[in-house]
Amino acid sequence: MSLRARLALVIALLAFLPNLVLALTLGLMGEGPWLPLLLWLLLLALVSAMVGYFLSRSLLKPLEELTLALAYLSLKGGSVASLRLPSPQEPPPEEVAKLRRRFEELLERLRELMEAREAFYAALAHDLKTPLLSAIRALEYLEGRDDLGRERRVALLHQVRQELARAHLLVENLLALSRLEAHAPRRETLNLRALAEDLLLRHGEEARRRGLGLEVAGAGLARGDRLLLERALANLLENALRHARTRVRLLVEEGAISVEDDGPGLPLPLSALAQPFRQGEGLRGSSGLGLYTAKRVAEALGGRLTACASSLGGACLRLELPRL
């Protein structure tokens, strides 16, 4: 049964029942013949039904107008920024006016999200295009030069590898963010010491190439999604390797891993650096998504990413997770 039918029935019953009780009382008291009384009751029922119908239609008119306005929005083409609720034909009741305001706030929130997403994708396209274009140009240069010496050729190939590595890292972070959007993270028991040692093995060659000492200390357990956590910690470790002078350390505790280095420290507050495509000096943030991805992963797993004091004198980022 529709809301209008229910409202009409309630109004009709409220109008009819007192008259029914009065008529039955008079009939039982012998105050009149039954036939005219029944005819009077039928007339009252008809009048009550008509009153209920017209009153319910009048009361629900502002709500129906709002429904038509929302239907108009769903059929209207164009961008989210152009969506606006049509003005009401007459001032609606306070309750319907509140509902309109909530829908307008929702539309404003959608506009903000769409603008942020457009800015995100524009920055993403720029950051992805830059390393790929640089690699293509280096390869074109190599293709057309037969007189290059080994040293120059190796330097160009190293540049190509770095640019492609930047693009690959950007894609890895996008995949991690996509997983967060599409699925709830798994909750499994993780040995954080073993996880840190795996990262050390993967990044050991990069550390040696840069002349850095890379070490793991401590032990602990936590709950989380291994793949997402590996991506987040890899971002933190890659940032530390990029900025360290001589040492990088992964400090493992119960429910947390800290990544610290002896570099110059964070150039900006973590809240600013963890914004997408917001980078400090030296591209701290893994192509603009590293710290943002690490922060999102930590929050999705029920933890947080914080800046901490480094015993090595540089930056220290601590990823906290739910303990067992």
**DSSP class per residue in 8-66:** HHHHHHHHHHHHHHHHHHHHHTT-S-HHHHHHHHHHHHHHHHHHHHHHHHHHHHHHHHH
Q: How far apart are CA 14 and CA 44, in angstroms?
A: 12
Name the packing angle between helices 150-182 and 290-300 (round to 10°).
Answer: 30
Q: How far apart are CA 176 and CA 184, in angstroms?
A: 12
pLDDT at 213: 93
pLDDT at 288: 62
Q: Which two tokens stand for residue 104?
A: 């307008």
Residue with tokens 């240069």: 141
Three-class HEC string of 117-136: HHHHHHHHHHHHHHHHHHHH
Q: How far apart are CA 31 and CA 53, in angstroms?
A: 32
Domain locations in the chain as residue ranges: 113-180, 187-320
Residues of the chain with pLDDT under 50: 280-286
Q: How far apart are CA 182 and CA 161, in angstroms?
A: 31
Q: Which fold has domain 113-180?
A: Helix Hairpins (1.10.287)
Residue with tokens 């309630």: 10
pLDDT digits (tens, 9 = 90+) for 132-142: 888 888 888 78
pLDDT at 282: 45
> What separation in angstroms does the CA of 33 have from each of 28, 41, 86, 104?
10, 13, 58, 60
Instruction: Looking at the structure, give the CATH architecture of the domain made up of residues 187-320.
Output: 2-Layer Sandwich (3.30)
Instruction: Name beta bridge partners: 252.
Output: 218, 257
pTM: 0.61
CB atoms within 10 A of CB 271: 10
CB atoms within 10 A of CB 208: 11
CB atoms within 10 A of CB 206: 15
pLDDT at 137: 83
Pairing of strands 247-253, 256-261: antiparallel
pLDDT at 112: 77
Same fold, 113-180 and 187-320: no
Pairing of strands 247-253, 213-218: parallel
